[in-house]
Amino acid sequence: MKTKCITLKLFVSCLLFAVSASCCRQKNEAREPMEDLQLIEKTINDCIGWAKTKDTSLLYSVIADSEEYLEVHPTDNVVKGISEFRQLENFWLNPDFRAVRYEIRDLKINLSQTGDVAWWYCILDDINEWKGEPACWENTRWTGVLEKRDGKWVIVQMHFSFADK
C-alpha cells in the first residue's frame, strides 16, 4: 500500500511539474517572440545606425565579441573575427568618412524554435560620403545571423551582396 501511495504521489508531482512547465512555456512563447523580434530589429538597425554619430559603444554592443564573428562584403573582403572587425574602426572613425543615412526595406526575421538564434534578410541603402564624394551601398542584399548571448541579441555573421541587374 505504501508503495502505491509513493508511486501515486510521484506520478502526481511529475504531472503537476509537466503541466506547470507547459503552461509557462506557452505563456512565454506567446509573449517573448514579439519582444525578441523587436530587440532583433533594433540590433540590426543599431549595427548600421551607429555610424551617424560614430558611437562605437553602440556598435560593439550589437556585434559578437568573438573570433568566430564573420562578415562577407560584396567585394572580395571577408572579415574573420572581432579582431579584424576592430581594425576597420580606423576607416569608420576617419573624419573623411561621413554616414549620411540608411534605409532598411523588406526586413524578414526568423526566430529559431529554441528562441536563441535568429536570421534575417533585407534590402539596405547605406548612404555615406568619403572625402565629400558619395560612397554608397544601394539596393544591397543584407543577411545575417544573431544569437542570444547572456540575454542579449548579438550579430555573429553578416553577408552583403549586390544583385546582378
8 vs 60, more confident: 60
* Alpha carbon distance 155, 109 (integer Å): 13
Please report, for the domain that includes residue 155, its CATH number: 3.10.450.50
Asked if residue 116 is part of any domain, the answer here is yes
Asked if residue 6 is part of any domain, the answer here is no
* DSSP code at position 74: S
* Alpha carbon distance 111, 123 (integer Å): 19
Q: Write out the residue range of the structural domain in which residue 68 sits.
A: 33-162
Asked if residue 23 is part of any domain, the answer here is no
Asked if residue 11 is part of any domain, the answer here is no
For the chain, the farthest-separated pair of C-alpha atoms sits apart, in whole angstroms, at 88
pLDDT 10s digits, 9-53: 544 444 444 434 444 444 444 447 899 999 999 999 999 999 999
pLDDT 10s digits, 52-97: 999 999 999 999 999 999 999 998 899 999 999 999 988 999 999 9
Question: Cα–Cα–Cα angle for 137, 45, 112, nearest 5°?
Answer: 110
Asked if residue 4 is part of any domain, the answer here is no
Are 59 and 86 a contacting pair, CB within 8 Å?
no
Asked if residue 1 is part of any domain, the answer here is no
How many domains, in total, are found in the chain?
A: 1
Q: Is residue 114 over pLDDT 90? A: yes
Residue 112 phi, psi dihedral angles, 5° rounding: -65, 160
Are 125 and 135 a contacting pair, CB within 8 Å?
no
Helix and strand tally (H, E) in the chain?
4, 7
